[in-house]
Amino acid sequence: MSADAAYDFDLFVIGAGSGGVRAARMAAATGARVAVAEDRYLGGTCVNVGCVPKKLYSYAAHFHDSFDDAAGFGWRLASPATFDWPTLRDNKTSEIKRLNGIYQRMLEGAGVTLFNARARVVDPHTVTLTNADGEVSVSAEKILLA
């Protein structure tokens, strides 16, 4: 990518899922001026509403059977096990926030400009960003929808 001063960025990535984050980091590593726009959570579907929460909930569900089977393996549980949904829910949320933070630190560490905004492609080199602070347009040599 060129460092063409005619544009604000060499690469503008819309979406901070795993693909968008990887593309942004790799481009920035070559010296490109890179920005990413994400209007929700860093990490994409897997981290925020897919793989990660599903696995945490699945692991939690399997403990019930393990507790039932434990006596046959010499374990004596003091009382019947109980389940606390708010604890699981809150710990799931904490884990997702931790992963979001890792993505943010990776992007910042790579020198990528991060916009917490909804992006709309206006033309082949212009993106309009909208968030609670208002609307701004930026330009880029290349725009990647990720």
**Cβ atoms of residues 143 and 124 within 8 Å:** yes
Write down the pLDDT at residue 79.
77
- pLDDT for the residue numbered 4: 65
The whole-number pLDDT of residue 1 equals 56
- 108-113 long-range contacts (CB < 8 A, ≥24 apart) are 110/24, 110/25, 110/28, 110/29, 110/34, 111/28, 111/34, 112/24, 112/25, 112/28, 112/34, 112/35, 112/36, 113/9, 113/33, 113/34, 113/35, 113/36
* pLDDT score at 120: 99
**Which of these CATH numbers, 3.40.50.2300, 3.40.470.10, 3.30.70.141, 3.50.50.60, describes 9-145?**
3.50.50.60
pLDDT of the chain, 146 residues: tens digit per residue: 555 689 999 999 999 999 999 999 999 999 999 999 999 999 999 999 999 999 999 999 998 888 888 888 998 887 778 899 999 999 999 999 999 999 999 999 999 999 999 999 999 999 999 999 999 999 999 999 99
Residue 116 sits at φ, ψ, to 5 deg, of: -90, 85
The domain limits of the chain are 9-145
